[in-house]
Amino acid sequence: AENGLDDDSYSEAGLALFRIQGSGPENMQAIQVDAVSS
């Protein structure tokens, strides 16, 4: 996301996962990091 190229994908994936989890912004960050590691 730092490049700004995957920013769009990160936002969409993060939002989708975030909605599925239904927890909070903190979890959303953890989920995003998980997706990046994959």
The tens digit of pLDDT for each residue in 1-38 reads 455 555 555 556 556 555 555 556 665 566 655 666 65
Q: Which amino acid is at 29?
A: Q
Q: C-alpha distances in angstroms, 1 versus 4, 13, 22, 23, 36?
A: 5, 12, 23, 22, 9
Work out whether the CA dihedral 9, 11, 14, 16 comes out positive or negative. Answer: negative
pTM of the predicted protein model:
0.18
Q: How many CA atoms lie within 13 A of 17 on its CB side?
A: 18
